[in-house]
Amino acid sequence: MEEGYDVKGVPTLLPEAEDFSDILAITGFNTCLGIAFSTGSTIFNVLRGILEVVTGVATGSLLGVFIHYFLSSDQAEVEKIIGFSWFVFKPLLFVLFGAEVSVASLRRETVGLCVATLGVAVLIRILTVFLMVCSAGFNIKEKIFISSAWLPKATVQAALGSVALDTARSYGDTQLEDYGMDVLTVAFLAILITAPTGRLLISFLGRRLLQKAKHQNKDEEVQGEPSEQV
C-alpha cells in the first residue's frame, strides 16, 4: 500500500480478512482443546466456544466505541502507543515460543507428518481463498496475489502453539504430552516455512501482479514531464 499498490483495495482487504481468520482459528483451537481435555459434556464445550466468540465481539465493540468517542482526537497517539507495545512484546512472544522447541528432540517421522499436514492445510487455504474472491470483481492476477498473500502464518501459531503442551503437562499424562508436542511441532514448522516464504511471495508477486492506483501513475507522469519555459 505504501508503494501505491492500493488498486481495488487489495492491500486493505487482506489484513481485515486475516483478522477474521484469526478469530475463527483461535475459537476453533480453543473449542477443540476443550473437547480434547474435557471431562464434561462435549455440547457444553462447543457452546462455550460460541460464548467466547460473542464475548470477544462485545468486548471489541465496546473498546471500539470508547476509542471512537473518547479518544478520537488522539487516534494518532493511540496508534503510536499500540504500535510501540507490539514492537516490544512481539519478539518476546516468539522467544518464549522458541524456548519450548528443542530441534534435537524432534522425531523424523513426526516432522514428515507435520510437514505433510501443513502442506495439505495451506493448499486448501489457498484454493478456498481463490474460490471466495472469484465473484468479487478481481482479475486473475489479483486473485492469485490474494491467495498467495494468505500463505504466511506466525503470530497466532506462536501464541497458541504451546498451549496444548502446557495443558497436557498439567494432567501429567505422557501420551497427552506427546500429542501436545506434535501440536507444538506443527506450529513451529508453520512459522519456519510459511512466514519467510509468504513474505518473499508477497514482495515478489505484488510488483508483478498488482497495478498501481491510477492517481499514483498520473502523479508520476506529471512529475516526469519537463517544465515549460515561459
Amino acid letter for position 105? S
3-state secondary structure the chain: CCCCCCHHHHHHHHHHHHHHHHHHHHHHHHHHHHHHCCCCCHHHHHHHHHHHHHHHHHHHHHHHHHHHHHCHHHHHHHHHHHHHHHHHHHHHHHHHHHHCCCHHHCCHHHHHHHHHHHHHHHHHHHHHHHHHCCCCCCCHHHHHHHHHHCCCCCHHHHHHCCHHHHHHHHHCCHHHHHHHHHHHHHHHHHHHHHHHHHHHHHHHHHHHHCCCCHHHHHHHHHHHCCCCCC
Q: Which residue has the higher pLDDT, 147 or 42?
A: 147
* For residues 76-89, average pLDDT: 79
Q: What is the pLDDT of residues 186-200, one digit of tens each?
A: 888 888 888 888 888
Position 227 scores a pLDDT of 43
Q: How many CB atoms lie within 10 A of CB 148?
A: 20
Q: Which three cell numbers stand for residue 6?
A: 492500493
The candidate with the shortest Cα–Cα distance to 101, out of 162, 21, 28, is: 162
The answer to whether the pTM exceeds 0.85 is no
How far apart are the C-alpha atoms of 143 and 138, rounded to whole Å? 6
How far apart are the C-alpha atoms of 45 and 42, rounded to whole Å? 5
Q: What is the pLDDT of residues 58-76, one digit of tens each?
A: 888 888 787 777 765 666 7
How far apart are the C-alpha atoms of 176 and 159, rounded to whole Å? 20
Q: What is the pLDDT of residues 122-172, one digit of tens each?
A: 899 899 989 988 888 888 888 888 888 888 878 888 888 888 888 888 888
Q: Which three cell numbers stand for residue 61?
A: 465493540
Q: Which residue has the higher pLDDT, 53 or 29?
A: 29
Q: Considering the chain, what percentage of its residues have pLDDT values greater than 70?
A: 84
CA atoms within 13 A on the CB side of 53: 17
